Amino acid sequence: MFEQKLRPRRMRISEGVRSMVRETSLSVKDFVYPLFVVPGTHVAEEIPSMPDCYHLSVDNAVEIARKIYALGIPAVEVFGLPEYKDEIGSSAWDMKSPVQQAIAAIKKAVPGLVIVGDVCLCQYTSHGHCGKLCGEYVDNDATLPLLQKVAVSQAEAGADIIAPSDMMDGRVAAIREALDEKKLLNVSIMSYAVKYASGYYGPFRDAANSAPQFGDRRGYQMDPANAHEAMKEVALDIAEGADIIMVKPALAYLDIVRQVRDRIDHPVAVYNVSGEYAMVKAAAKNGWIDEKRIVLETLTSMKRAGADIIITYHAIDAAEWLQG
């Protein structure tokens, strides 16, 4: 008879032993919760494509922010739906717009909560592209001054971290320069350095009313087939002064997260995007999967791949589950 000597199962024999040898841990401190703010007051409307996520007016966004902070989640990322749209997206830097108002109100009510401002123009432009158009082409260099205005307006409203998601070349350097010029020296930049042109953003674009009115975003977001190019984007954004590097989406790109983590010494963030969220919620609703188990397993996989920060719509549920 074969004599079995090597028994990895010994390290799985009980929860006590498993907990001693567990390599990856998931914590509420890893999470950033995205908020969608809209004009008006007393608005809390569930987003159809994203069950359990809401369009919130500023007053309700503040209430959710209190709850998030009480749960121990360190940060929120603020997205907005503006009152008006135009060719250049000027409501994106309007201090009276929902994002700037929400940032200021949350900072005042919950000063310990870290506020991340998403900087892009697609929610604010009439054409739904992430920058200024020249014909049908998104003009990179003409977009940079607009992004500078958005970043400064959010930082002046009270954002701690500016997160540009537009994918224009040179925007990290441009934003850093604009912040420094206003002496906003301690406002950091979390760059969506590696952002793929992904089908997984579908539910978000419904939620944020930000789908492009013609064409798509392949002329500025990355080709899903490319990994070397991701490393190039990361190197450029670090050289331009990014403080945190993000990879987005998360699940289909965990190989990229690992490669980035192994190459750089900056914190790495992943964005567990709307399509990833919607698929889990839909399957859970049908009783096809165990939502809690799937969510915690999925978020753990992002940590295991090397992420330090996870932006996720599951943050509130996961925080409650992690508490026991």
Return the active site residues. Answer: 195, 248
The token pair that represents 158 in the structure block:
């009270």
Least distance (Å) between residue 253 CB and ligand PBG: 13
Q: Report the residue number, 217 or 281, with the smaller CB distance to ligand PBG.
A: 217
Q: Which of residues 265-294 bind ligand PBG (CB under 6 A)?
A: 273-274
The count of residues interacting with Zn ion (CB under 5 A) is 3
Residue 274: name its binding partner from ligand PBG, Zn ion, none (Cβ under 5 to 8 Å by kind). Answer: ligand PBG
Cα distance between residue 203 and residue 80, in whole Å: 15
Q: What is the CA radius of gyration of the chain?
A: 20
Stretch that binds ligand PBG, among 94-102, 116-124, 138-146, 237-245 (CB under 6 A): 116-124
**Surface-to-core class of residue 10, CB atoms within 10 Å of its CB (0-12 exposed, 13-18 middle, 19+ buried):** exposed
The count of residues interacting with ligand PBG (CB under 6 A) is 11
Residue 170: φ, ψ to 5°: 85, 5
Q: How many residues make up the chain in this entry?
A: 324
Instruction: Give the one residue of 76, 102, 104, 130 binding ligand PBG; rule: CB under 6 A.
Output: 130
Bridge partner list, 79: 36
Q: Report the residue number, 104 or 130, with the smaller CB distance to Zn ion.
A: 130
Q: Which of residues 176-215 bind ligand PBG (CB under 6 A)?
A: 201, 204-205
Residue 103: name its binding partner from ligand PBG, Zn ion, none (Cβ under 5 to 8 Å by kind). Answer: none
Q: Report the residue number, 60 or 148, with the smaller CB distance to Zn ion.
A: 148
Q: Give the number of other CB atoms < 10 A from CB of residue 50.
A: 21
Q: Report the residue number, 161 or 163, with the smaller CB distance to Zn ion.
A: 163
Tell me the per-residue interface mask from 112 to 151 with Zn ion, x by CB under 5 A, - otherwise: --------x-x-------x---------------------
Instruction: Give the one residue of 28, 120, 179, 184 binding ligand PBG; rule: CB under 6 A.
Output: 120
Which residues are CB-neighbours of 293 under 8 A, at least 6 positions away? none
Least distance (Å) between residue 50 CB and Zn ion: 17
Cα distance between residue 245 and residue 234, in whole Å: 7
Least distance (Å) between residue 282 CB and Zn ion: 25
Least distance (Å) between residue 84 CB and ligand PBG: 18
Instruction: Give the one residue of 60, 140, 143, 165 binding ligand PBG; rule: CB under 6 A.
Output: 165
Q: Report the residue number, 211 or 283, with the smaller CB distance to ligand PBG.
A: 211
Interface positions with ligand PBG (CB under 6 A): 118, 120, 122, 130, 165, 201, 204-205, 217, 273-274
